[in-house]
Amino acid sequence: MTLQPVARCVAVSRVFEVPQHRGAAATVLALDAVNIDIAPGGLLALSGASGSGKSTLLSLLAALDRPTSGSVHVAGRDIGSLGRAARRRLRRSTAVLVLPQPADNLLLALSGRGNLLSVARVRGIGDRAEAVIESLVEQMELAAFVDQPCAVMSGGEQQRLAVACALVGAPPLLLADEPTGALDQASAATLITSLRAAVQGGATIIAATHDPNVIAAADSVVRLDHGRRVS
Amino acid sequence: MLPFALTVMLAVFCAAGAALYVSSAGSASIGEQLAESCRSTTGLTLPVLRDSSDAEAIVAGLGASLPFVDVPRSGATASTELIDEQGTPRRLRLMQLDGLGEHVTAPFAALALGEVALSATNAELLHLAVGDEITLAAGGALVVGRVYDDIALAPIPDAWCGLEYLIAPNPAGDPPPPSALASRETVRLVAGDDPNLYEFVEYRLTTDSVTLTDVAATHAAFERAVAGWNTAFADAPYRMTLETELDTVLSRGTAVRDTVARSLAPVRVASLLSIACVLIAATVLLGRERRRELRLLAMRGEHPARIALAFTPSLLAAALPAGVLGFASAWLTVTHFGPSALLETHAIRSAVLAATACVLAGVMLAATTIGVLADRSVDHPTRHVHARFLLPLGCLTLCALTLWSFRRLDTVGGIRTYGVQARGGDMLALGFPLSLLLAMTAATALVLRAAITHARLSGGRLPRALRLGWRRVVLEAGPTVATVAAVALAAGSMITATALADGARDQLHDKAAVYVGSDLAVTLFDEPVLSPSLASRATLAWTTTADWADGRVELWGVDRATFAAATALRDDGSELPLADLIALLEPTVGTPAPAIVVGGDLAVGEEANIQVAGTDQPLRIAVVATARFFPGKTSGSAQVVVDRSVVIAGAPYATRKLLVREPPTGLVDSLRASGVRTGVVLSSATTFDASNFSGLRWAYRPLATLGLLFASMAMAVQLLVIAARRETRRASHLVMRRTGFTRRALWRAALVETLLPPLLGVAVGIGAAVGAAALAVVRLDPMPLLAPPAQFSMPWPTVVAIIVAVPVWAVVVAGLIVRTTLHSDPMRTMRGEQ
């Protein structure tokens, strides 16, 4: 039996208009007819040089942007045709994005547990929240710092917590943009371990990265170059 | 959060201040009306019937329910006849009123039974002195116990007002019938069973300040008391009706309040809309500060409503104290600088409700903006609604509104005064100056935005510091356009408000001067003898009405030697100066009388016949000059001015008028004292009801407040821009100072940045205000049928004050820029931490 892809990009292009002097605008082709099928489970590494379109693709998959042409399907739904509310629901519980800067993924005024509870509330987990969080704390090895305010955590701790937040409620698709980009080697290694643990738990993760360690840990790799898929 | 709180404060200030201001204007109008009215005629007089034993108690009971009245005064009056020295019976009115004797010179507390007090004139008229006996025709006698000085007439003392019929001469100059003050017992004794005896209790309004609501309550209580009196004395020979001038006072006060309210409405709408825009801008700034948090919440899929709700407590925490401050500021401003410090309870309640509504609306608007901002921060719509179309659309809408309001103003005019009433005040018509200001500002903003878009790289040949300042001006269209627009609206509103208020004052002065003829006009029945100092600024004119082919005409005979020195004619009254005009009137024997014609269809060189009452022969005149208006013109009828000899010879019933420029105090009294009989006295200072003018002034003043509001906004916009650009400014200065960019250069750049937009705004504001005021002043003429027509005059003091204030503010803001740029930790700046 063939598994339905959790996400699919069909001839996806994205063109940005960049305002220039005297009211003129230049166009930048960020993605050029990209086709990708992402099977459920596993860690997919999106690699490529800066400006190759990795983050744009993640934004499209995370329903933060719309393609100029082509279609992006997540969990069987064409993101481009969805309304604002439906796209919001998709972001809430289906395609969750982790940003490169650890601090950008957390409400710094709250503790780690506060952030996890906040996400659990948004995703409507309700009574099971405590159990789900405890399970994630154990799985991601957060116990040592989860009750501390996020502002005092290290970058590595913050990013692991961010991944944990993203995994609350087991969304079908986790999108991570340069997850190790702002971390030292040790922290990056711990995070990769965490990502692998999440995959073992059934998550599907797409990580846009330059980090060879992440690429090495990935189950599959997609390379982009100037907006085109090259492998 | 500070910009948001300040904006809420401004909104509360406007909303609550408007309600309080209207009430304050109503109270002030009532205060002025009451000050100008006689407290006796605005009060209530309840008759005490003699044939009812408990009449006094019943009246006292009715009076006890009257609010805002002073301690009642009881009185009695009766007429009798005395036998004079020649044995001829003469009518004598006896008067008693509590405390009246204390308000004469010399005062006295009480008179004994059978004793009377006479005024000096009455004593002289009856040839009586203190101690003389007055023989009554009906038998018995009275003794003259006191003789007091005549009561002053202009103004009449408060205690004597309502009793003018006892002391003031009639319009023909004849003295009133003799009267005397007596005790209640004496009046009753003399009257006996005479039904002419009239006893009463007078209830006067309190001398304390009262509001419009208080007066309305008092008027209603008067009506109830009259109804109660009619019920209690159902068998009385007459039914009592409420005869008080309080209803006039009330209706005038209400008219002024309504006029101010109507005038305030467009100002309030404009200010609240503008504040809403600033509130959104302030919230966007807040959203920028917390964009990371907003973006995260939106990325997590939080509904915008929940994000808005999450921010509501902190917004409320800022808005509540801001609202309290705004309300307190409005209260203090209105009570200290408004028309009156007296505010009605319902107005305070409305103001509190308006303040609460503003706080809640402000919080809701800000929370909604934050929710929308958060949602838009992660999910951009593919099809943008381009903002560049919004400004032209808004500009076109404002232009249409301006045209519509101008047509309305042209048709119905502004606030019109009809006698003592102020009517009109159509909201759309009164909104014309403001809508023109808004339209011109929007048009400027439109042009400026386009110009800035094309000027971003301009100024390349300027020195480095000036170039930096200029480039920051043209860096972003939004802040520069917002600053220019806010300053333009501020300057425009203040100048327009001053022009309209000053215009109303000048119009009143000019019209009064023409109506009266000079500063003072006194109708005389005898030839006066004037002191040399007074003679140099006084003239005698003979006036009468006559008929000619076009209908009624006012015929004036003027003294060619003195008229021009005692009167004045505004420049637009005639082609010639007044002295030259008068010089043309020299009559020549055997030819038609040279005449100046004001109004009418006659042209210079034409001749006409005037039929003067009391003569068979028409008066032949030859027009030597025409004028648009002339001193003494009081109606729409034509005025014909000739030499006085012509009127004296040809009009037997002409009235003699003394016209005086800058009259000394007590001139009329001194004329009377010298034996000259005087008739109607007109003063240009009091001819037109001052309270109506106050109503106009109060109606236009809020526009100046709006100007201050826009000025605050302009300052807020500049400060917001400084705050928003602080980080980039610090970072760029860190780099630039290594390349020789000194503190002085930074100052120069900051001055260019802070001075240019406000200067442009002031120029636009002045232009728009002059246009708006010039078009509006003529059409806002409160008495368009009365010459001279309204005239626009430039309010130079306000213009100069604004022009001076702008550079001062620019220096302050430049100082802030320099300070915030230099006082930073370079390392933290480079890391983007501050």
B287's tokens? 């959203």
Average confidence (pLDDT) over A82-86: 85
CA-closest candidate to residue A177, choices A37, A79, A65, A18: A65
State whether residue B295 sits within 8 Å of chain A by CB.
yes
Name the residue with higher pLDDT: A4 or B443: B443
Conformation bin of residue A214: beta by default, left when phi > 0, alpha when psi is -120 to 50? alpha
pLDDT at residue A22 in the model: 56
Spatial separation of the C-alpha atoms in residues B323 and B11, rounded to whole Å: 8
Residue B598 host element (H or E): strand B593-598
Average confidence (pLDDT) over B217-242: 91
pLDDT at residue B834 in the model: 45
Report, in angstroms and rounded to the nearest whole number, the Rg of chain B calculated over CA atoms: 36
Residue of chain A nearest B475, judged by CA positions: A21
Confidence category of residue B533, pLDDT binned at 50, 70, 90:
confident
pLDDT at residue B508 in the model: 80
User: Which among B293, B380, B453 is the nearest to A107, CB-wise?
Assistant: B293
* pLDDT over 70 percentage in chain B: 95
- Which amino acid type is present at position B762? V
Q: For residue B703, what are the contacts with CB-CB under 8 A and spacing of at least 6?
A: B267, B433, B434, B493, B494, B496, B497, B500
Q: What is the mean pLDDT of chain A?
A: 85
DSSP B259-294: HHHHHHHHHHHHHHHHHHHHHHHHHHHHHHHTHHHH
CA B267 vs. chain centroid, Å, equals 16
DSSP A41-100: SEEEEEEESTTSSHHHHHHHHTTSS--SEEEEEETTEEGGGS-HHHHHHHHHHTEEEE-S
Is this complex scored with an ipTM above 0.90? no
Confidence category of residue A23, pLDDT binned at 50, 70, 90:
low
Is residue B423 predicted with pLDDT exceeding 50?
A: yes
Q: Which residues pair with B46 in a beta bridge?
A: B201
B157 neighbors B119 (Cβ within 8 angstroms): no
B246's tokens? 């309080």
CA-closest candidate to residue A79, choices A60, A58, A93, A92: A60
Structure confidence by residue, pLDDT tens digits, B576-604:
899 999 999 988 887 889 999 998 788 89
CB neighbours (10 Å) of residue B590?
5
Residues of B in contact with A119 (CB under 8 A): 300
Q: Which residues pair with B258 in a beta bridge?
A: none
For chain B, how far is it from start to end, CA to CA, in angstroms?
Answer: 17
pLDDT at residue A30 in the model: 86
**Cβ <8 Å between A87 and B382:** no
Is residue B180 predicted with pLDDT exceeding 80?
A: yes
Q: For residue B450, what are the contacts with CB-CB under 8 A and spacing of at least 6?
A: none
To the nearest whole Å, the CA of B810 is away from the closest chain A CA by: 29
B550 neighbors B601 (Cβ within 8 angstroms): yes
pLDDT at residue A24 in the model: 62
B399's tokens? 């232009």
Name the residue with higher pLDDT: B601 or B321: B321
Is residue B530 predicted with pLDDT exceeding 90?
A: no
CA-closest candidate to residue B834, choices B820, B816, B818: B820
* pLDDT over 90 percentage in chain B: 29
Structure confidence by residue, pLDDT tens digits, B79-95:
888 888 888 888 889 99
Average confidence (pLDDT) over A2-30: 77
Confidence category of residue B671, pLDDT binned at 50, 70, 90:
confident
Q: For residue B760, what are the contacts with CB-CB under 8 A and spacing of at least 6?
A: B448, B484, B487, B488
State whether residue B387 sits within 8 Å of chain A by CB.
no
Is residue B236 predicted with pLDDT exceeding 50?
A: yes
Confidence category of residue B46, pLDDT binned at 50, 70, 90:
very high
Is residue B831 predicted with pLDDT exceeding 60?
A: no
Residues of A in contact with B299 (CB under 8 A): 62, 64, 91, 97, 99
B457 neighbors B403 (Cβ within 8 angstroms): no
Angle, CA B802 vertex, CA B798 and CA B804 arms, to 5°: 115
Is residue B719 predicted with pLDDT exceeding 90?
A: no
Q: Which residues pair with B431 in a beta bridge?
A: none
Conformation bin of residue B87: beta by default, left when phi > 0, alpha when psi is -120 to 50? left
Q: Which of B289, B290, B300 is the best substitution to test chain A (most A C-beta atoms within 10 A)?
A: B300
Average confidence (pLDDT) over B468-497: 86
Is A20 in a helix, a strand, or coil?
Answer: coil
Q: For residue B471, what are the contacts with CB-CB under 8 A and spacing of at least 6?
A: B456, B459
pLDDT at residue B182 in the model: 92
Average confidence (pLDDT) over A59-77: 88
A179 neighbors A98 (Cβ within 8 angstroms): yes
- Cis peptide, bond prior to residue B479, ω within 30 of zero: no
**Cβ <8 Å between A92 and B301:** yes
Residues of A in contact with B296 (CB under 8 A): 104-107
DSSP state of B69: B
Spatial separation of the C-alpha atoms in residues B749 and B475, rounded to whole Å: 13
pLDDT at residue B20 in the model: 92
Residues of B in contact with A64 (CB under 8 A): 299, 378-379
Structure confidence by residue, pLDDT tens digits, B6-16:
888 888 988 89
CA-closest candidate to residue A180, choices A135, A149, A218: A218
Exposure string of B678-692, with b = 16+ CB inside 10 Å and e = fewer, is bbebbbbeebbbbbb
Place of tokens 């929710």: B371
Exposure string of B301-334, with b = 16+ CB inside 10 Å and e = fewer, is bbbbeebbebbbeebbebbeebbebbbebbbebb
| Pairing status of strand B44-48 against strand B73-83 | unpaired
B124's tokens? 């002289």
CA-closest candidate to residue A204, choices A195, A212, A213: A195
Residue of chain A nearest B305, judged by CA positions: A85
Continuous H helices in B517-666: 532-535, 563-566, 578-583, 644-650
pLDDT at residue B418 in the model: 63
For residue A26, count CB atoms less than 10 angstroms from its CB and return exposed for 0-12, middle for 13-18, buried for 19 or more.
exposed
User: Which among A22, A106, A107 is the nearest to B454, CB-wise?
Assistant: A22
pLDDT at residue A1 in the model: 47
Average confidence (pLDDT) over B218-227: 94
Q: For residue B810, what are the contacts with CB-CB under 8 A and spacing of at least 6?
A: B751, B754, B755, B758
Q: What is the mean pLDDT of chain B?
A: 85
| Pairing status of strand A228-229 against strand B115-119 | unpaired
All domains of chain A in start order, with CATH: 41-66+84-229 (3.40.50.300)
User: Which among A64, A84, A104 is the nearest to B296, CB-wise?
Assistant: A104
Is residue B692 predicted with pLDDT exceeding 60?
A: no
For residue B646, count CB atoms less than 10 angstroms from its CB and return exposed for 0-12, middle for 13-18, buried for 19 or more.
buried
CB neighbours (10 Å) of residue B730?
21
DSSP state of A23: G
**Cβ <8 Å between B293 and A62:** no
Query: For chains A and B, what is the number of CB pairs under 8 angstroms?
Result: 50
pLDDT at residue B614 in the model: 76
B171's tokens? 């319009």
Is residue B338 predicted with pLDDT exceeding 60?
A: yes
Spatial separation of the C-alpha atoms in residues B509 and B503, rounded to whole Å: 10
Structure confidence by residue, pLDDT tens digits, B284-305:
877 877 888 888 888 888 888 9
C-alpha distances out from residue B378 to B284, B295, B371, B375, Å: 15, 6, 12, 6
To the nearest whole Å, the CA of A204 is away from the closest chain B CA by: 18
pLDDT at residue B633 in the model: 86
CA-closest candidate to residue A72, choices A6, A4, A15: A6
B542 neighbors B557 (Cβ within 8 angstroms): yes
- Which amino acid type is present at position B98? D
A205's tokens? 């993760």
Strands (E), chain A: 7-19, 25-38, 42-48, 69-74, 77-78, 95-98, 173-177, 204-208, 220-225, 228-229
Report, in angstroms and rounded to the nearest whole number, the Rg of chain A calculated over CA atoms: 18
**Cβ <8 Å between B303 and A88:** yes
Q: Which of A72, A89, A121, A122 is the best substitution to test chain B (most B C-beta atoms within 10 A)?
A: A122
Is residue B382 predicted with pLDDT exceeding 60?
A: no
Q: Which residues pair with B597 in a beta bridge?
A: B626, B640
pLDDT at residue A76 in the model: 84
B145 neighbors B115 (Cβ within 8 angstroms): yes
Name the residue with higher pLDDT: B416 or B309: B309
For chain A, how far is it from start to end, CA to CA, in angstroms?
Answer: 25
Q: For residue B385, what are the contacts with CB-CB under 8 A and spacing of at least 6?
A: none
